[in-house]
């Protein structure tokens, strides 16, 4: 199946069967998200993998009682850093310096520039930057799910603060941005399963200059 076939096969699954997705498939999706590029390579997010049925049942009302929360096999919560501090930037570049066997100060001029960019931002701007990078990984992850023939529902319909408090994300310096419910489509019960996929036409979406 080509990538375009996979993207045409996928849809925002509204009902799932509850069948378990093998963890090795989920690990491929998570690894794809981990490999996603981010601006300056900072990867300013975490992904929380939830399989505990009790916890999923608590999340469901926070997500307006959407059935796929508990019918999914795995729920992935994408959560961005609330702030991008100099300490975090140093942490990331210390790892890069170490893994590439570079002299300790090889990147310091570059790192100072990156830190300066973030220092000039408000905390809200830092979060918006982090959230956008999180959505790159989100896009890569849902593409990986499609190529693995795992159904995936991208979701923004939930009360972020309530979910964050339930999961203890504020203490981790994280704020949820989106959910990806992974499972298998329940074609018989999903009203969206057989509806035509609609996208804005190419000649409208793409501008050639």
Closest CB to a copy of itself among residues 46, 70: 46
Under rule CB under 8 A, how many of the chain's residues touch a copy of itself? 64
**Region near a copy of itself per CB under 8 A, out of 6-14, 65-73, 103-111, 183-191:** 6-14
**Which CA distances in Å does 16 have to 85, 115, 135, 150, 166?**
40, 44, 24, 11, 24
Closest CB to a copy of itself among residues 188, 201: 201
Q: Would you count residue 49 as binding a copy of itself (CB under 8 A)?
A: yes
User: What's the start-to-end Cα distance of the chain, in Å?
Assistant: 32
Q: Would you count residue 176 as binding a copy of itself (CB under 8 A)?
A: no
Q: Give the per-residue contact string, 85-104, with a copy of itself (x = CB under 8 A; - = no).
A: -------x--xx--xx----
Tokens of 27: 């690990």
Q: How far is the CB of 118 from a copy of itself (least distance, A)?
A: 13
Tokens of 70: 């508990």
Q: Would you count residue 39 as binding a copy of itself (CB under 8 A)?
A: yes
Contact 158, 56 (CB under 8 A): no
Q: How far is the CB of 186 from a copy of itself (least distance, A)?
A: 19
Cβ neighbours for 194, distance < 8 A, ≥ 6 positions apart: 187
Instruction: Specify the residue for token string 């799910």.
Output: 145
Of residues 112-141, those binding a copy of itself (CB under 8 A): 128, 131-133, 135-140
Q: Would you count residue 156 as binding a copy of itself (CB under 8 A)?
A: yes
* DSSP β-bridge partners for residue 51: none
Tokens of 185: 């489509």
**Which helix H or strand E contains 50, and what residues bound it?**
strand 45-50
Planar angle of CA 115, 135, 155, nearest 5 degrees: 140
Q: How far is the CB of 35 from a copy of itself (least distance, A)?
A: 4
For the chain, the C-alpha Rg in angstroms (whole number) is 19
Closest CB to a copy of itself among residues 128, 189: 128
Residues that bind a copy of itself in the complex, under the rule CB under 8 A: 3-4, 7-8, 10, 12, 28, 30-37, 39, 41, 43, 45-52, 55, 92, 95-96, 99-100, 128, 131-133, 135-140, 142-144, 147-148, 154, 156, 167, 172, 177, 195-200, 202, 205-209
């Amino acid at each position: 199946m080509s990538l375009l076939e996979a993207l045409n096969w996928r849809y925002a699954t509204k009902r799932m069967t509850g069948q378990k997705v093998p963890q090795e498939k989920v690990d491929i999706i998570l690894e794809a998200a981990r490999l996603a590029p981010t601006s300056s390579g900072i990867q300013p997010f975490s992904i929380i993998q939830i399989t505990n049925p009790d916890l999923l049942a608590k999340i469901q009302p926070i997500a307006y009682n959407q059935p796929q929360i508990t019918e999914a096999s795995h729920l992935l919560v994408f959560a961005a850093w609330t702030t991008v501090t100099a300490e975090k930037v140093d942490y990331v570049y210390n790892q890069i310096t170490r893994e590439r066997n570079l002299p300790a100060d090889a990147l310091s001029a570059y790192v100072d520039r990156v830190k300066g960019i973030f220092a000039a931002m408000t905390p809200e701007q830092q979060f918006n930057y982090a959230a956008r990078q999180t959505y790159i990984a989100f896009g890569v992850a849902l593409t990986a799910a499609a190529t693995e023939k795992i159904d995936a529902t991208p979701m923004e319909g939930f009360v972020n603060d309530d979910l964050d408090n339930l999961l203890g994300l504020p203490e981790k310096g994280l704020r949820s941005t989106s959910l990806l419910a992974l499972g298998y489509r329940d074609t018989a019960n999903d009203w969206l399963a057989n509806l035509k996929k609609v996208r804005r036409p190419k000649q409208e979406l793409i501008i050639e200059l």
